[in-house]
């Protein structure tokens, strides 16, 4: 199993791709040059611009998609809403400006939207009723110490915010009543220790992850800052991982560094060099898995260098990374960040006669299962069925079986003949979710294939022989509980970057 890395990229103009959000098979990329580009990402190896919207003159900082609208934090213009119901033709749908420079927008419920402003002392955070937008904000909030407000992340009834111009500060705000935000706690995070420039904050469980940056001329280093929020009244620094190339994306009101995204037990962070990946098995102490300066498959394409950083969003095992550099050097890069799961086709009992391969991989729509023959064996047809597994008892369910508990292969839901030398089954997330009846993200897959082999007979000639084979994964194998040699494969979809 190996990470694939960079698989495609597309430049943008003016080249300052600073933020990205994903929705319905499209990537929405904010370019600081004042352009929102819409990419069709149905083929992640070739992201294609299919629509755009522009307002020259001010820097477009961030994009966040809520329903049929993209909400844009657009510097001196304020909060701009664009109708994206037709992604190929984004259209203006209103503006509201209630501060000096809009820096960040987020909405957790699609009802209220929260906008942070720089140089708007005393009311750096504005709350909007999205149903009546554009209209005056329904509430304002004063960031600690009259600071510039930066990245905001809303999770349930809590808002987590970066406050710059000193500090920087990490702030927790109670928004259970959106009409009256109340401070819960704040934490100074000295720039001498964690970097001057404040990037994206994302909260997962009891921890907040904060991208920080610094200019080399300052003699400081940015990186990944982890803040414990299990006791929200007493947030604390849990960990800091120094990243010299964390990014220095310039934002109004004090600047910022790159973006990050948390999916499952992985954290993805954009940098000036490429994509960093961390393991969050211990969420208080992220462990570095991928450094793009070492693992060059995760470096930015040469066409995007030099970069000042960017943003990242991850979906279905693909990471969409923006690269920021004025002068037509930036754009959108796509990385495959999910490991394939490689299993085998076995004839006979146990794992002794391996005559083919079964490979599980991620697609932009869900899961792909590819069956092929090995050596002198050629696959001709296959049947496949999805079911569920009780991880406590190891029992499988959802398969057609006889009274003895043996599978009825003829009643499997899916059947296909070989095309060339392989058989491919594709499944959407909805189909995977239907199979995962206990909603734990782990499914059971049974596949039976027919293969043909060429063998030398006792007369010295060649004979065609046929064999049936079951898909099996050593260490992930189950059975139906009957007397047959049928196998069932246990697949954790999170290992493929898939979440249902």
Rounded-to-10 torsion of CA 361, 286, 390, 387? -20
Residue-wise pLDDT for 185-212, tens only, equals: 999 999 889 988 888 999 999 999 999 9
Tell which wins on pLDDT, 24 or 484.
24
Residue-wise pLDDT for 374-393, tens only, equals: 988 999 999 999 999 998 88
pLDDT at position 217 over 80: no
Q: Which of 120-129, 229-238, 242-251 has the highest mean pLDDT?
A: 229-238
Tell which wins on pLDDT, 57 or 382.
382
What are the residue boundaries of the structural domains of the chain, listed by start?
5-336, 341-496
Per-residue pLDDT at 349: 64
Mean pLDDT of 124-153: 90
Q: CA–CA distance from 477 to each of 103, 302, 445, 486, 487 (Å)? A: 50, 43, 10, 10, 7
Confidence of residue 249 (pLDDT cuts 50, 70, 90): low
Residue 176 CB-density burial (10 A; 0-12 exposed, 13-18 middle, 19+ buried): exposed
Range of lowest pLDDT (73-82, 90-99, 252-261, 276-285): 252-261
For the domain 341-496, what is the CATH code?
A: 2.60.40
Confidence of residue 253 (pLDDT cuts 50, 70, 90): very low
Q: 5-336, which class in CATH?
A: mainly beta
Question: By percentage, how much of the chain surpasses pLDDT 70?
Answer: 94
pLDDT at position 158 over 60: yes
Per-residue pLDDT at 141: 94
Confidence of residue 14 (pLDDT cuts 50, 70, 90): confident
Mean pLDDT of 141-151: 81
Mean pLDDT of 414-428: 95
Per-residue pLDDT at 99: 87
Q: Cis ω on the peptide bond leading into residue 109 (within 30° of 0)?
A: no
Confidence of residue 23 (pLDDT cuts 50, 70, 90): very high
Per-residue pLDDT at 351: 54
Question: By percentage, how much of the chain surpasses pLDDT 90?
Answer: 71
Tell which wins on pLDDT, 308 or 135.
135
Residue 481 CB-density burial (10 A; 0-12 exposed, 13-18 middle, 19+ buried): middle
Kindly report whether the global pTM for this prediction surpasses the value 0.95. no
pLDDT at position 138 over 80: yes
pLDDT at position 252 over 70: no
Residues in the chain, total: 500
User: In angstroms, rounded to a whole number, what is the distance separating the alpha carbons of residues 486 and 332?
Assistant: 45
């Amino acid at each position: 199993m190996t990470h694939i890395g960079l698989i495609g990229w597309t430049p943008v103009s003016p080249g300052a791709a600073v933020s990205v959000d994903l929705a319905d098979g499209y990537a929405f990329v904010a370019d600081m040059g004042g352009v929102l580009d819409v990419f069709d990402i149905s083929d992640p190896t070739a992201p294609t611009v299919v629509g755009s919207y522009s307002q020259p003159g001010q820097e477009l900082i961030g994009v966040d998609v809520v329903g049929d609208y993209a909400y844009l934090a657009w510097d001196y213009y304020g909060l701009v809403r664009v109708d994206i119901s037709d992604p190929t033709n984004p259209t203006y749908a209103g503006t509201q400006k209630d501060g000096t420079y809009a820096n960040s927008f987020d909405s957790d419920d699609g009802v209220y939207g929260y906008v942070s402003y720089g140089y708007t002392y005393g009311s750096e955070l504005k709350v909007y009723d999205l149903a009546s937008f554009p209209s005056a904000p329904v509430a304002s909030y004063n960031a600690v110490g009259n600071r510039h407000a930066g990245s905001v992340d809303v999770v349930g009834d809590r808002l987590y915010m970066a406050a710059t111009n000193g500090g920087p500060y990490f702030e927790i705000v109670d928004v259970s009543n959106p009409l009256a935000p109340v401070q819960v706690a704040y934490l100074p995070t000295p720039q001498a220790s964690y970097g001057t420039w404040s990037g994206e904050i994302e909260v997962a469980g009891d921890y907040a992850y904060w991208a920080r940056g610094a200019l080399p001329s300052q003699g400081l280093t940015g990186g990944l800052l982890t803040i414990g929020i299990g006791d929200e009244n007493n947030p604390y620094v849990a960990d800091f991982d120094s990243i010299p190339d964390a990014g220095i994306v310039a934002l109004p009101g004090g600047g910022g560094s790159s973006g990050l995204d948390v999916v499952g037990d992985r954290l993805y962070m954009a940098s000036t060099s490429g994509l960093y990946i961390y393991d969050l098995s211990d969420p208080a102490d992220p462990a570095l898995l991928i450094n793009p300066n070492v693992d060059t498959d995760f470096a930015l394409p040469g066409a995007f260098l030099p970069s000042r950083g960017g943003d990242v969003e991850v979906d279905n095992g693909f990471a969409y990374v923006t690269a920021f550099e004025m002068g037509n050097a930036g754009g959108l890069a796509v990385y495959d960040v999910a490991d394939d799961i490689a299993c085998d086709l076995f004839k006979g009992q146990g794992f002794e006669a391996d005559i083919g391969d079964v490979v599980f991989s991620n697609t932009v729509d869900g899961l792909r299962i590819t069956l092929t023959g090995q050596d002198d064996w050629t696959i001709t047809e296959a049947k496949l069925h999805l079911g569920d597994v009780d991880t406590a008892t190891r029992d499988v369910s959802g398969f057609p079986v006889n009274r003895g508990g043996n599978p009825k292969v003829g009643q499997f839901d899916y059947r296909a003949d070989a095309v060339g030398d392989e058989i491919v089954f594709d499944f959407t997330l909805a189909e995977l979710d239907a199979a995962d009846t206990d909603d734990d993200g782990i499914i059971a897959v049974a596949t039976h294939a027919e293969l043909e082999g060429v063998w030398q007979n006792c007369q010295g000639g060649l004979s065609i022989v046929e064999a049936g084979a079951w898909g099996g994964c050593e260490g992930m194998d189950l059975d139906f509980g009957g007397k047959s040699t049928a196998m069932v494969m246990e697949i954790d979809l999170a290992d493929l970057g898939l979440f249902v």
